[in-house]
């Protein structure tokens, strides 16, 4: 790809790995799918020996350095514990896991009258390919079992000093719609918030992956987790919210209800899940969906949810 199409911070980050990206001891860059959820950009990198890697560059202001190191710490711990295969982090020439770059035209420590400095962070990962077109993607049950294994690991893991994650937003984003859809989605939103408030009173928040859908799983199957658009978004949240990306492909209420049931069975095969928590899973899935585009499918699912669970008191 032309270098004018590449984030200049990506080219600066390559220098931290002894790569110039301009034809010397270079790295061929190409867009890489992933990282859209967090706003980061990602590039497939062909190293001088021909091996593939993935360079992820954080969005301006998206992450503090401590948050990146914390993400990588959990990712490594998950891999070492054998919960899932996770990508190796390739070090900089100085042996660091994270390359910190100041955006061109800014200063790391701004002086009076200058533009505020913008510091961004880059990580170079071993390349684990996404599930290929010839491989059946993991189902909700597979992802539920993997979520349970990750949650069990997180609960027993001694977090290193300085580990930080941002908390989840306390409520889903209210839907934006007009006309008859507005009344339906407003009622659905209120019912979801009410259902989650009642269910969440019994359960403490914990460390969750945050993007555990089919796209987060490598071609090796559910034993391989990608890092580009996965662990970057790990956060402190209700563990049952992990169901949302696993069932996001549902197009009707019956599909969503069935997918949540499969996820619950997978989760319960690894870790206990009581009936009340399982019954709240559709509300967790809808809380994420209501923050996205308003579609006919979403409206139909909301109608089904209201029919099954009623409107908020």
Residue that the structure tokens 């200063």 belong to: 107
Res 31: pLDDT: 62
| Listed range (43-57, 160-174, 203-217) with the worst mean pLDDT | 160-174
Regarding beta strands 52-57 and 99-102, do their DSSP bridges make them parallel or antiparallel, or are they unpaired?
Answer: unpaired
Q: Which residue in the block uniquely carries the two structure tokens 């996820």?
A: 263
Q: Which runs of consecutive H residues, i.e. helices, occur in 104-231?
A: 140-156, 180-200
Interatomic CA distance for residues 234 and 245, integer angstroms: 13
Evaluate if residue 29 carries a pLDDT over 90: no
Question: For position 114, what pLDDT does the model report?
Answer: 44
- Dump pLDDT digits (tens) for 100-119: 998 876 555 544 444 455 88
Could you give the domains of the chain?
3-126 (3.30.200), 140-309 (3.90.1200.10)
Nearest-angstrom CA–CA distance, 214 and 218: 9
DSSP single-letter state for residue 161: T
What percentage of residues in the chain have a pLDDT greater than 70?
Answer: 76
Q: What is the mean pLDDT of residues 133-144?
A: 81
Q: Left (φ > 0), alpha (ψ -120 to 50) or beta: where does 312 sit? A: beta
Supply the DSSP string of 126-150, one letter for each residue. Answer: E--PBPPTTSPPP-HHHHHHHHHHH
User: Given this model, what pLDDT does residue 265 score?
Assistant: 98
Identify the residue with better confidence: 1 or 148.
Answer: 148
Residue 96 makes CB contacts below 8 A (sequence gap 6+) with 16
Per-residue pLDDT tens for 225-258? 665 455 777 888 889 999 999 999 999 999 999 9
What pLDDT was estimated at residue 215? Answer: 78
Q: Do the bridges between strand 89-90 and strand 28-31 make them parallel or antiparallel, or are there none, so unpaired? A: unpaired
Helices (H), 6-92: 8-15, 65-80
| Digit-coded pLDDT (tens) for 266-297 | 999 999 999 999 999 999 999 989 888 889 99
- Residue 223 confidence class, pLDDT cut points 50, 70, 90: low
The stretch 80-102 carries a mean pLDDT of 91
For 96, the 3-state DSSP assignment is coil
Measured CA to CA, the distance from residue 30 to residue 3 in angstroms comes to: 10
Consecutive H or E run containing 15: helix 8-15
Query: How much is the average pLDDT of 156-163?
Result: 94
Task: Calculate the average pLDDT of the chain.
Answer: 82
The Cα–Cα gap between 13 and 102 comes to: 10
pLDDT at 226: 61
**147/309: higher pLDDT:** 147
Tokens encoding 65: 């350095």
Which of 35-39, 158-162, 260-264 shows the lowest per-residue confidence on average (mean pLDDT)? 35-39
Distance CA 243, CA 250 (A): 12
Average pLDDT over residues 198-216: 79
> Measuring CA to CA, how many Å separate 238 from each of 6, 91, 142?
37, 33, 20
Residue 3: count of CB within 10 angstroms of its CB: 11
């Amino acid at each position: 790809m032309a270098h004018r199409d590449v984030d200049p911070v990506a080219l600066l980050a390559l220098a931290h790995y002894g790569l110039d990206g301009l034809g010397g001891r270079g790295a061929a860059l190409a867009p890489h799918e992933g990282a859209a959820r967090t706003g980061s950009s990602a590039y497939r990198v062909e190293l001088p020996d021909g091996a593939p890697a993935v360079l992820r560059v954080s969005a301006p202001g998206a992450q503090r350095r401590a948050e990146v190191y914390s993400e990588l710490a959990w990712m490594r711990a998950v891999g070492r514990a054998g919960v899932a295969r996770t990508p190796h982090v390739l070090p900089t020439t100085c042996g660091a896991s994270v390359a910190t770059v100041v955006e061109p035209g800014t200063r790391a420590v701004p002086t009076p009258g200058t533009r505020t400095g913008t510091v961004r962070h880059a990580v170079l990962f071993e390349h684990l390919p996404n599930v290929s077109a010839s491989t059946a993607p993991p189902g909700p049950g597979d992802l539920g079992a993997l979520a349970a294994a990750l949650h069990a690991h997180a609960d027993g893991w001694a977090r290193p000093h300085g580990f930080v994650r941002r908390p989840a937003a306390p409520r889903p984003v209210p839907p934006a719609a007009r006309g008859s859809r507005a009344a339906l989605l407003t009622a659905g939103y209120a019912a979801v918030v009410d259902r989650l408030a009642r269910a969440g009173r019994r359960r403490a928040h914990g460390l969750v992956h945050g993007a555990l859908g089919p796209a987060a799983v490598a071609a090796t199957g559910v034993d391989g987790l990608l890092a580009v658009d996965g662990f970057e978004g790990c956060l402190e949240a209700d563990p049952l919210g992990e169901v949302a990306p696993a069932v996001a492909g549902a197009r009707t209420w019956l599909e969503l209800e069935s997918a949540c049931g499969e996820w619950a069975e997978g989760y319960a095969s690894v870790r206990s899940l009581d009936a009340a928590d399982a019954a709240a899973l559709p509300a967790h899935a809808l809380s994420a969906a209501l923050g996205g585009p308003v579609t006919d499918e979403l409206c139909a699912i909301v109608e089904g949810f209201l029919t099954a669970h009623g409107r908020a008191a």
